[in-house]
Amino acid sequence: MSSFKDIIKGETPVLVDFYATWCGPCQTMMPIIDEVKSALGEGVRVLKVDVDKNHEAAAKYKVRSVPTLLLFKNGEIVYRGAGLHSRNDLISLIEKHKD
């Protein structure tokens, strides 16, 4: 099993969804993120991080509200955004960082 550090270092964009099970907007984002993954297939990796179970990761990336989305490319954060995102906006954002 790959570690978080190894996964985000790759050339494939990695969308990390910091969420909480009690968060209404997070529940709204889940099917949107699933649609984005289905649309882009191998063009993106998606990781979901429950902030209540992963305090260290949330603290390391300074997640103050949920949902917070981080997009990594080659180990670097290329996008950070909190709140709801549309399917099309996420797809456009990820495609911009594919190559």
pTM beyond cutoff 0.75: yes
pLDDT score for 95: 94
The amino acid present at 48, given as its one-letter code, is K
Catalytic residue among 7, 23, 78, 82: 23
Q: Where are the domains of the chain?
A: 4-96
Catalytic residue flag (residue 78): no
Tell me the pLDDT band of 1, cut-offs 50, 70 and 90: low
4-96 is classed in which CATH architecture? 3-Layer(aba) Sandwich (3.40)
**What integer is the mean pLDDT of 47-51?**
95
Say if residue 28's pLDDT is above 70: yes
Rounded to an integer, the average pLDDT of 83-88 is 96
Both tokens of 99, joined, read: 């190559």
Residue 82: how many CB atoms within 10 A of its CB?
14
**Whole-number Å distance between alpha carbons of 58 and 93:** 22
Active site residue 26: yes
Report, in this order, helix, strand and coil percent for the chain, each rounded to 5: 40, 25, 35
Catalytic residue among 8, 15, 16, 26: 26
